Amino acid sequence: MNAWDGIFFIGIAAMFGLALWRRRVRASGIRRLAQMTGFHYLADTIPQSILKDLPAGITSVWNVLEGERSGRRVIAFDCRFGSGKGSLRRTVIAIQADRSSITASAFDPDIQVEQIGEWTFLYRPKELAVVAQLTPLSELSAYLEAV
């Protein structure tokens, strides 16, 4: 093994370490957000009641929050749509309410709103998430308060 191989492996290890660190920092922030908003942090466990209604293509979930706002059940979570290089990471907010009772402009006029069963899902479409794919915690907090 020469010096360039060593530098390459150190670079790869640093990238994985950074990704792990960022995931832990976000999870810690999500737990703090749960405490501040009165939601419950469920880690990577999605409630059974929403499983059958999840948008198509979601392959994994993590940082799940569950709570109630304005008499409506709300579940927010980070997820991955698809797999491999074509996969997308998104933060999804699910509200147990009819789509007509939710104004997307109260959140973001460009946000995608999808009704499946008794749940309305809000998340950023692919076109808007070129750089940051997960919703920043400050924005997520505002969205949860706006529900």
Taking only the tens of pLDDT, the chain with its 147 residues reads: 677 876 777 767 777 676 677 778 888 899 999 999 999 999 999 998 898 888 888 999 999 999 999 899 999 999 998 888 778 889 999 999 998 888 766 667 778 889 999 999 998 877 654 555 888 999 899 888 888
Strands 119-123 and 72-81: unpaired
pLDDT at 40: 96
Residue 10's contacts (CB-CB under 8 Å, 6 or more residues apart) are none
Cα separation of 138 and 38, whole Å? 16
Q: Name the 3-class secondary structure at 62.
A: strand
pTM: 0.85
Cα separation of 106 and 127, whole Å? 20
